[in-house]
Chain A
């Protein structure tokens, strides 16, 4: 990605009283990127999002969106943003359609066709003229997404968007977000606890804990490229104990059920396989064990639940 980042947080802090809720957070999100914002309960995800959309002030640092400072050029900065902060609370006494008209009026150039297009996109066409008070949580979530994308923002911020969606809804949202980022170059900033969800939809994730950035990880295209990196591999073999003998101490191996695991680089793995076969060990499978994000997440945050 060669373009300038869509959003840039620089040393952003938030203090309430003597408590530091967000501590010098610095990160960037690029155009067309789906960026996950991961952290245990109370780690400051919503607080960060509130600062990004100007609902609360920053105690320090600055956030710029499409080059405009949220502090000094709020209307310009926020005109590039569509967002749902926490629950998608809409006007319950209005219909879904009236809600969309309401938010459409607040931006320039949103046509009736665009509203209809967005309704179709989120799949609400059957119920759009019902009062929102009759909507289920999932339907309100969809309406929330609809109001957020009406004006084709270059940054879409979603705070726990899968909350209340059924599996089909989650899948649709995921597909839609990926399409939006690929086809329209929209940067998507999603916060979630659902780690497995993030793995499926994000290009990168930032992990925060107690208001501090702990790590930023890329989730795409790393495993194949980094051939020099050591990987943990599982060999499925018929006689694990005999196989270990064959290795002659190349790599630290552990016997497991139906085989053994070893940490080695790509070339060594191929080498090991050749040796095993030569020694008459039957090799059924060689699998790279990729740590799930969940494992990584728990590792990084120390498995803490509320921080």
Chain B
């Protein structure tokens, strides 16, 4: 058996040899730059420091990267079926599990790559435009667990939280993509999951039942812990609890993808 890393290299090749991938990268670079430049031109009274602007932009940025990564997850699995290339891919001396794992890894690497670029761009452009503040007052709320830490720690933690949520949404898209073999459905439903989070959280607040704290949507907003709050309305939870809930969903999604992908016939 050849080296497993070769499978990941193949998946990477199929991601980065597409022009669409680099157009996505263009958005990840341009959107923060534009936001910062426009903000600095049009806001006379408002005074933001580089960290505040960076974290503001990170929220838009992660929505964008999540959508892009879901598109890649959908292409990666469902795309092979619609292109018909799955028939050539699966008749190699590899188990279907290995093929699926290589695809999952490449999509997560894609998300990681874009998140790192996003971090670098948002940091850089805001330092260039607003100057570097080493000790910003009011960035970290007083009841935050990170009070007293450096703005670097706070920013990195915020990106990490958002990245974890991204991986869970992408895993969801990946599951739909292998279950339905339709990229459209996978992309559509994942974006719904991403965007309906706050609405569903609102509804859960009304429902006011103990099980609401096991619902996925609110836990995708891990950053609420950074500001001293917690994501589920009326049911205070801990950061570890949220991670646990996300982990359970992550495992379920992966089990479903794996079961469907390895067991189902490839016909038609």
**A and B held together in a complex:** yes
Where the two chains meet, the residues of A that have a C-beta atom closer than 8 Å to any C-beta of B are 47, 50, 53-57, 74-76, 78-79, 81, 83, 85-87, 89-94, 98, 101-103, 105-108, 147
- CB-CB < 8 A to B18: which residues of A? 93
- CB-CB < 8 A to B1: which residues of A? 75, 108
- Partner of A75 from B9, B17, B87, B93 at Cβ < 8 Å: B93
Give the CA-CA distance A83 to B85 in the complex, in Å.
12
The 7 closest A-B pairs by CB, nearest first: A89-B84, A79-B93, A56-B265, A106-B92, A105-B6, A75-B93, A55-B266
Q: Inter-chain contact count A-B, CB under 8 Å? A: 79
Between B83, B92, B265, the greatest number of chain A beta carbons within 10 A of the residue's beta carbon is seen for B92
Does B94 sit within 8 A of A, measured CB to CB? Answer: yes
Q: Are A105 and B266 in touch, CB under 8 angstroms?
A: no
Give the CA-CA distance A194 to B10 in the complex, in Å.
36
Over the window 82-109 of chain B, the binary record of Cβ atoms lying under 8 Å from chain A Cβ atoms (1 yes, 0 no) is: 0111011011111100000000000000
Does B267 sit within 8 A of A, measured CB to CB? Answer: yes
Give the CA-CA distance A53 to B96 in the complex, in Å.
13
Smallest CB-CB separation from B83: which chain A residue?
Answer: A89
Interface residue tally on B, bucketed by range: 20 to 34
**23 A-B pairs with C-beta separation under 8 A:** A50-B265, A50-B266, A50-B267, A54-B91, A55-B90, A56-B266, A56-B267, A75-B1, A78-B92, A78-B93, A83-B91, A86-B84, A89-B83, A89-B85, A89-B88, A94-B17, A102-B10, A103-B92, A105-B2, A105-B10, A106-B6, A106-B7, A106-B93
- CB-CB < 8 A to B17: which residues of A? 93-94, 98
Between A106, A107, A147, the greatest number of chain B beta carbons within 10 A of the residue's beta carbon is seen for A106
Secondary structure call for the B interface: loop
Q: Are B88 and A147 in touch, CB under 8 angstroms?
A: yes
Does B120 sit within 8 A of A, measured CB to CB? Answer: no
- CB-CB < 8 A to B7: which residues of A? 105-106
A45 to chain B, nearest CB (A): 13
- Partner of B265 from A57, A90, A102 at Cβ < 8 Å: A57
Q: Are B267 and A102 in touch, CB under 8 angstroms?
A: no
- Partner of B87 from A47, A81, A86, A91 at Cβ < 8 Å: A86
A133 to chain B, nearest CB (A): 11
- CB-CB < 8 A to A75: which residues of B? 1, 93-95
Give the CA-CA distance A84 to B26 in the complex, in Å.
38
- CB-CB < 8 A to A98: which residues of B? 13, 17
- CB-CB < 8 A to A50: which residues of B? 265-267
